[in-house]
Structure 1
């Protein structure tokens, strides 16, 4: 999916954003006025994801602070938040050394155990780890379902407020301030991953975990859902069709080698994922060894892996608070990178649409941050995790695929792949005929066909949202579909508005006019004579080039890192 969809789309968006020096809204208004809604659709996707994504950063902050203790709070079953199903394997091991039986958070002597037949009861009981109980009942205070919203969890709400304060502080001065922060947030996770890798592979059971990780199940390649999940993961990893790549690349110098950037970031993303898998599965193998179960019974995904399985693992390591702190700081820096791009995409779109706000960039970022915090409050309630999983399933799935397909077809067929490749060669220099033919085939046929295939089979194999054994009600899935197709409705609405706004001409003539790039479409340096007349510290869109794209050669280096989201 990286080769067929991720890399081609990333290269396409880096190139067009750098070429035009514009954010997605103004870019599509000039590039293809009929589909200006694509820019708005991208902004909507980024806005929705921005709301719930920062909640995950808030969870990470919560755990980071909780790790500042001599003893991790989820090492044992605390009566304050645990249920009768909570089973501390550490306490059970300690009880076993005394020849006792651990049951219902109590160590019973062998005589009592035999009299009450506790050994059999322990074997048949439903066990939940302290980390599981801590996350669900103490951190989330989870309700029975999305129908039971419950009160706001103030520790989570305050963590969310802190997350937004951090994001605002890093972006308040625009891309100049965020670019410096990204040097740390993009590189620090590698330091932690390397440290944790050497610690993980030395643990007992690590070999079994790694073997389980690298052993393929070829039959799963016949399931469209696997390919769909891979496509969604690539879209999350590289961020095509979200507007972020276009936004960030618009700050690049005109002659920056965006082709090299796309290849480096795509390959490093995949290699980092593979390496991270060795880190994660080495410690999962260790936990399987400790629990005396098969690796597949330990594996989880999403929040379960990050906030249940891994905390349970680090609780069993020597100097547990240190490993927990490092792990959650790593998650925090990874999450902040993504959130930076999402917020920058939204604020750039606002500044592009309302140029008079450019001098008040800080207040725009503040306003978007306040909106993001208030919009994220629903995710800090007792039903917040259900809302998060619902949005996560629908917000950036079908609509992103549709936007990517439309974008790919517009550039390769309406504008012309050869014409676009000629524009790219003006920026990065001439390339061979084989190079031109390869990318022309990718953009015109292979990439859109792959995306259509995934979209089609995702609809065929669609299943309503569920969380474990909990099935979301019909009204919740209806809300999910509204969120999913909101960008599509905007795209279609803008299309009809554009058609109706032309004063005269037949429908065919209107289509021809609106599918043709405007006269002011062209490379950024086309308006270089305007450079010294009007611009601000952040560079100006909407027809006036950005200062930074010409005067700051370090921008392309910085944003090579930031586009690695």
Structure 2
């Protein structure tokens, strides 16, 4: 018996259980299905666990009092994220269509919402693949020793180093000048940066190869792209904990600043991160769930994915903070060393008179005995908490902070290859969902003839010309 619903015709557009069983049998040879439940879960995990877990979530923790941000994030993950995730799973599984198809089934007047979701996925795919191209560039440049961002390049005469690099830092110079070759103004687009174009072509080629037959090939690729990042993160956690000062970063992460819980911005950023993590309303998860059996337990899937996303975010943040702690300790030690040299030169002391172990006592003694002289010295404030709180968001965390920290590790090329290959896997597995959020709605709109094979549709979507606009010298990605 059908329900009488207020939306005219909705009861005819939403199939009941009998219709679903019949539809599943009819589409058995036409519609793709997951080979097994593990492929579906890993694909969803790969889509939700992306680059933001490595460089956006740790920054939000850093900006909102460390462990204090974890409390609203986990609360909203359950109260906000999981119900919306369940809705996307349920509607995709029930209607067996993409974002355009499900909204059209609810009401033909809502088709535009599905088209908007498709356009969002398209724009994010362009954005994400540009990041993957940058990651590929760093990955390819990691197979050399020393790493190219370890030291400044020589000037044209070969008589010294490039002044721009000396005035900034080696990692900043390599990222902004060598990798991006950024222009001085966003109004100046510059020309095509061909090294990045080559990486873009390579990135789209990898995506097309992995997604050539839809979930038939991407479902197998996720065994590598979704699982390998966890292995690499575990390796980096073990390595990170052996670095000097790593525990300072971990303590900072899990020590909550309770006052931050009273700030509205903390809760707003936590809610935004939940939407960002699950990619709510982008259409990818709706498309993924449409390939499930009609009687699949989607509620169990939503609970499982929510738990995995929350634990992975904390796990990735812990790994990141071991590196942040190591970097902050390096800065603190350098700051103290510079102050020691300044005081030794000013008071003509022996090198052994002031060391890092007795620095505070020596400074207090000199300051009390010769306050006027100490006041005139260029003594920098060395505060560990300040160095730990220095926020670096987005690409800067991966391409500058991590790249700089890796150069200080023994065997830095190995760790660089491992790190950027992990980012490559994270980016590719997330891009699967973005492409799915575009290809399936296009089929729902009958843009491509139904007789066209999946390979042709994927190839058209991955056409190489469309990302070239993201390969100019304008640095527009934060």
Fold shared by both chains (TM-score > 0.5): yes
2:467 paired residue number: 376
- Note the C-alpha offset of 1:378: 2.3
State the SS of the aligned residue for 1:69: coil
2:227 paired residue number: 187
1:55 paired residue number: 130
- Note the C-alpha offset of 1:301: 1.2
1:146 paired residue number: 186
1:365 paired residue number: 458
Q: Equivalents in 2 of 1:205, 1:129: separation in Å?
A: 22
1:6 paired residue number: 81
Q: Equivalents in 2 of 1:368, 1:181: separation in Å?
A: 19
Per-residue CA deviations over 1:152-191 (Å, capped at 9, x if unaligned) read 1110111011110110111111111110001111000000
- Note the C-alpha offset of 1:260: 1.0
Q: Equivalents in 1 of 2:444, 2:147: separation in Å?
A: 47
Instruction: Determine which of 284, 288, 297 is the counterpart of 2:324.
Output: 284
Q: Is the 8 A contact 2:249 2:388 kept in 1?
A: no
Q: Equivalents in 1 of 2:257, 2:130: separation in Å?
A: 34
Q: Equivalents in 1 of 2:189, 2:265: separation in Å?
A: 31
Q: Is the 8 A contact 1:213 1:278 kept in 2?
A: yes
Instruction: Determine which of 163, 181, 186 is the counterpart of 1:84.
Output: 163
State the SS of the aligned residue for 2:452: helix
Q: Equivalents in 2 of 1:153, 1:85: separation in Å?
A: 20
Q: Equivalents in 1 of 2:102, 2:441: separation in Å?
A: 10
2:372 paired residue number: none
Q: Equivalents in 1 of 2:466, 2:219: separation in Å?
A: 26
Q: Equivalents in 2 of 1:83, 1:184: separation in Å?
A: 41
- Note the C-alpha offset of 1:143: 1.2
Q: Gaps (5+ residues) in structure 2?
A: 1-75, 333-381
Q: Equivalents in 1 of 2:469, 2:390: separation in Å?
A: 30
1:335 paired residue number: 427
Q: Equivalents in 2 of 1:80, 1:59: separation in Å?
A: 25
1:212 paired residue number: 252
RCO comparison, higher one (Cα < 8 Å, 6+): 2
2:265 paired residue number: 225
- Note the C-alpha offset of 1:85: 5.8
Q: Equivalents in 1 of 2:408, 2:155: separation in Å?
A: 22
CA 1:18/1:235 → structure 2, altered by over 3 Å: closer, same or farther? same
Paired residues for 1:297-376 under 5 Å:
298-354=390-446, 356-370=449-463, 373-376=464-467
Q: Equivalents in 2 of 1:192, 1:32: separation in Å?
A: 46
- Note the C-alpha offset of 1:299: 3.9
Instruction: Determine which of 206, 214, 233 is the counterpart of 1:166.
Output: 206
RMSD: 1.8
Per-residue CA deviations over 1:228-272 (Å, capped at 9, x if unaligned) read 332332222112110111111000111111111111111111111
Paired residues for 1:384-533 under 5 Å:
385-386=475-476, 388-389=477-478
CA 1:211/1:84 → structure 2, altered by over 3 Å: closer, same or farther? farther
Paired residues for 1:29-48 under 5 Å:
29-48=104-123
- Note the C-alpha offset of 1:343: 0.7
- Note the C-alpha offset of 1:381: 1.1
1:258 paired residue number: 298
Q: Is the 8 A contact 1:206 1:284 kept in 2?
A: yes
CA 1:261/1:197 → structure 2, altered by over 3 Å: closer, same or farther? same
- Note the C-alpha offset of 1:309: 0.4
Per-residue CA deviations over 1:37-64 (Å, capped at 9, x if unaligned) read 1111110111111111100000010010
State the SS of the aligned residue for 1:207: helix
- Note the C-alpha offset of 1:78: 1.7
Q: Is the 8 A contact 2:88 2:285 kept in 1?
A: yes
Per-residue CA deviations over 1:481-500 (Å, capped at 9, x if unaligned) read xxxxxxxxxxxxxxxxxxxx
Higher mean alpha-carbon deviation, 143-152 vs 294-303, is at 294-303
State the SS of the aligned residue for 1:25: helix
Q: Is the 8 A contact 1:69 1:321 kept in 2?
A: yes
Per-residue CA deviations over 1:292-325 (Å, capped at 9, x if unaligned) read 2633365411001010000000010010000000
State the SS of the aligned residue for 1:322: helix
State the SS of the aligned residue for 1:332: helix
- Note the C-alpha offset of 1:216: 2.2
TM-score by length of 1: 0.59
Q: Size of the alignment, in residue pairs? A: 346
Q: Equivalents in 2 of 1:237, 1:297: separation in Å?
A: 23
Q: Gaps (5+ residues) in structure 1?
A: 88-126, 390-565
Q: Equivalents in 2 of 1:137, 1:225: separation in Å?
A: 34
Q: Is the 8 A contact 2:132 2:428 kept in 1?
A: yes
- Note the C-alpha offset of 1:80: 5.6
Per-residue CA deviations over 1:205-247 (Å, capped at 9, x if unaligned) read 1111111222223333344433333233222211211011111
Q: Equivalents in 2 of 1:366, 1:164: separation in Å?
A: 10
Q: Equivalents in 2 of 1:265, 1:309: separation in Å?
A: 30
Aligned: 1:239 with 2:279: yes
1:471 paired residue number: none
Q: Is the 8 A contact 1:209 1:281 kept in 2?
A: yes
